[in-house]
Amino acid sequence: MNRLLCFLRTAFVTLTAAVCLNCFAQLPADFLNHSQQTDESRDAVQASIVADRTAATPGSPYEVGILLKHKKGWHTYWKNPGDAGEATRVTWSLPKRWSIVSAGWPIPTVLTTGQLTSYVYSDTVLLPFKLDIPWGTPYGTRATIRAKVSWVACKDVCVPQQANLRLTFPIEVASKPSASSALFARSRTQIPERVTNTPITAVQEGNRVLLDLPSSAGLVSDSLVFIADESNLIRHVAPVNHKTGSSDTTLLLTLNDSAGKNLTHLTGTLIADAGPSEHGWAIETTIPVRPGNIGNDEKALPKKSAVPILTKVVPPAPLTAFSALTLAFIGGLILNLMPCVFPVLSLKFLHLVDRTRRRGSLAMNGLAFTAGVLTSTLALAVLLLFVRSLGYAVGWGFQLQTPWFVAALALLFFVLTLNLLGVFEFTAASHLADSRAAKALPSSGPLSTFGVGILTVVVASPCTAPFMGAALGFAVTQPAYEACAVFLALGLGIALPWLLLTLCPVWTKWLPKPGIWMVYLRRFMALPMFCAVLWLIWVLSHQVNGYGLIALFLAAGALTLFLWAFGREQYGRDHSIVLKSVSLFVTFACLAVLSLCDTTTSRSQSGALLWQPYSAKALERAIEQGKPALIDFTASWCVTCQFNAMTVLHTDATTAALKQYGVRCFVADWTRRDAEITRLINAFGRTGVPLYVLYDSTGKPTVLPELLQQKSLLEALEKAAVPAPSSSR
């Protein structure tokens, strides 16, 4: 028995470690590239502390700076990174009574990647600081200052980096310019001038703000850019239009919905004509904002062709932490009714029907299941937040975008199917044929139930229940402790029904006595488990080519042979260690082949003439033409998506309505990881699929519910196709 337990433990740990390592290496597909580029990224940015002069004098400001030298193609971020990235941080360690302040941030470069706008530094940049050395510091001595600098360096991937720097310099009565003084001189020309009393005014109407620059504020010949100090205030992807007249210049900005409708001021940097280095100017100021009517001045407002193709949409009333917890909990409860968890229900139900347990034992299994669910949701939250902190865009269900993980999950369900059919047992006992009722259930101790809880969350990830999308979308934008709390609330909702059944087992008195019927029930429960295997094979067929599917079938065959031999050994009929070892080796070898297989054909949708793959240009073209547009964010592994497609999206009634109203239909396929689609999903305040976005004829987007209904969708399509009445009527 000890030998068997040791073998099971070793096989389980090996399989789990292999799955975790391979999934972690591929979760974003760029992870493998990231590890291969370690040598390149290690020197992507070189940081050092430099000084303007060779020595410091007490009582006089001493200019020092953090010098960042970027390799070609790499960049770091300004104090407001924009839609992606993280600002460079500097933490100083100084002698007692010394102080240091920033001398300003040099003007950044505006970097646009797809639908994302960021403010970055490249090549060589100096972040200047002014060091105050108090009177009384002895002359003729040497002082040391230290700085901890952290930044995110990005090229094709983003890599968080940091450096611990130090600078030692003498304290003297006089000094001369250092070798770095030219860098400081150039940096001063790139620092925006700080203006406290500005003649610039701003008017806010809804989420639009119109800046008015009189000629006394400065002349603008070509371009004008406003960068807010606060992140997530300006909607960068919306058109920013400026009009230059004989007396003044206006600049129209669009705010994010979370910015609020009653701003009192805007603090940021105005850059005219590319800044001082290009014969323009730049100021850092605070602009008072008052409510007012912007109107529809065609010269000041964007033309229809500039309608944004990506708008950050959030719920009308921003979620609070309490409402997000509530929605996540309700979503977890509803998730128990979704088809994703049906296979695990087989195992859960078999635990419940064992009325021979004492009440305390049943309650212990309920608590173990709850602990497994909460552990799994918390681990998923930590992994999700960690991957996102590295600059990768991932969301709910991201682990199923990895073919290796899908294949491993299919094989796991296949193993459970064989177990339910009696090919082998999850037990250390031998010669089990003497007691049919004893083998009717899998091992059902707390450890086994804990594993079922973990498995429940893994298989539930392809589904998104109502209320979950908004709650998880809120969670990933909050601090880590709030995000983890939301995921734990989701897990508690998933586990609560089972926990209540185990704590109050009064219902068990209605069950018949244990007997042969439990054996038949167990065999019947293998059916939904095997259906889950078939579904996962279908998902995998959209992720890998034919060779990948052949590898999976070979692995399943080898695993069957292994478990058959293992089952015979349990009954004392066979001890073919060689056969089991070869079978296990073939299983792992076939799974390894899957990581080399990729999809060779694009996924097809029903109604191919009506639906087309999503592209930003095609959507922009549809909006320019005044056509409504519908985006279906979907994935093959998303059960809710497939249910919506069969019952609503691809019905005759919906197809007829789409054609009648001239709706342009786009499919954003998230079956495998796609960074652009992930950013689109995140921009609408969601973390996963399904997501349905309907643009009306004016280009205004609306997020539809996760669970579609035929009637409400048809009404939404009709409303989107009819232009809103003009305000002049």
Q: Is 653:669 a contact under the CB 8 Å cutoff?
A: no
pLDDT band at 9 (very low <50, low <70, confident <90, very high): very low
Q: List beta partners, residue 164.
A: 148
Tens digit of each residue's pLDDT (9 = 90 or more) over 661-719: 889 999 998 877 776 787 778 667 677 788 899 988 877 888 898 888 888 899 899 88
Tens digit of each residue's pLDDT (9 = 90 or more) over 30-47: 433 443 444 555 678 999
Residue 586 is predicted with a pLDDT of 65
Residue type, 84: A
Strands 629-634 and 664-669, bridge-based pairing = parallel
Tell me what the mean pLDDT of segment 115-120 comes to: 78
Q: 42-181: which CATH topology?
A: Immunoglobulin-like (2.60.40)
What are the structure tokens assigned to 367, written together? Answer: 């608590």
Residue 607 has pLDDT above 50, yes or no: no
Topology agreement, domain 42-181 and domain 195-302? yes
pLDDT band at 165 (very low <50, low <70, confident <90, very high): very high
Among the ranges given (18-32, 73-87, 460-474, 657-671), the one the predictor scored with the smallest mean pLDDT: 18-32
Tell me what the mean pLDDT of segment 116-125 comes to: 86
437/420 Cα distance (integer angstroms) = 13
Tens digit of each residue's pLDDT (9 = 90 or more) over 182-192: 899 888 888 88
Greater confidence (127 vs 705) lies with 127
- Which range is most confident: 141-145, 279-283, 520-524, 530-534? 141-145
Residue 403 is predicted with a pLDDT of 77
Greater confidence (53 vs 470) lies with 53
Residue 140 is predicted with a pLDDT of 86
Residue 394 is predicted with a pLDDT of 55
Residue 592 has pLDDT above 50, yes or no: yes
Residue 51 is predicted with a pLDDT of 93
What is the value of pTM for the model shown? 0.43
Greater confidence (341 vs 580) lies with 341
- Which range is most confident: 9-23, 181-195, 230-244, 670-684? 181-195
Residue 636 has pLDDT above 70, yes or no: yes
Tens digit of each residue's pLDDT (9 = 90 or more) over 71-84: 888 899 988 888 77
**What is the helix, strand, coil percentage profile of the chain, to 5?**
45, 20, 35
Q: Per-domain residue ranges for the chain?
A: 2-32+316-541, 42-181, 195-302, 611-721
Residue 554, exposed/middle/buried by CB under 10 A (0-12, 13-18, 19+)? middle
Greater confidence (496 vs 349) lies with 496
145/167 Cα distance (integer angstroms) = 6
Residue 243 is predicted with a pLDDT of 55
Q: Is 329:494 a contact under the CB 8 Å cutoff?
A: no
Tell me what the mean pLDDT of segment 511-538 comes to: 74
Indicate left, alpha or beta for 279 from its phi (over 0: left) and psi (-120 to 50: alpha).
Answer: left
Strands 99-102 and 124-132, bridge-based pairing = antiparallel
pLDDT band at 585 (very low <50, low <70, confident <90, very high): low
Q: What is the mean pLDDT of the chain?
A: 73
Greater confidence (443 vs 148) lies with 148
Tell me what the mean pLDDT of segment 555-563 comes to: 78
13/19 Cα distance (integer angstroms) = 10
Q: List beta partners, residue 376.
A: none
Residue 124 is predicted with a pLDDT of 92
352/362 Cα distance (integer angstroms) = 8
Tens digit of each residue's pLDDT (9 = 90 or more) over 258-302: 666 677 888 888 887 766 666 677 888 888 888 887 765 444 433
Q: Which helix (H) or strand (E) holds 658?
A: helix 652-660
Please state which CATH number belongs to domain 195-302. 2.60.40
Residue from 465, 402, 565 nearest 30 by CA? 402
Residue 129 has pLDDT above 90, yes or no: yes
Residue 299 is predicted with a pLDDT of 42
Residue 5 has pLDDT above 90, yes or no: no
pLDDT band at 651 (very low <50, low <70, confident <90, very high): confident
Among the ranges given (108-117, 324-333, 507-516), the one the predictor scored with the smallest mean pLDDT: 507-516
Asked, as a colleague might, if the bond just before 690 is cis with ω within 30 of 0, I would say yes
For Cα atoms 388, 89, 238, give the angle at the middle one, nearest 5 degrees: 55
Angle between helices 321-335 and 480-503 (to 10 degrees): 40
What architecture (CATH level 2) is domain 611-721?
3-Layer(aba) Sandwich (3.40)
Query: Of how many residues is the chain composed?
Result: 729
Percent of the chain with pLDDT over 70: 65
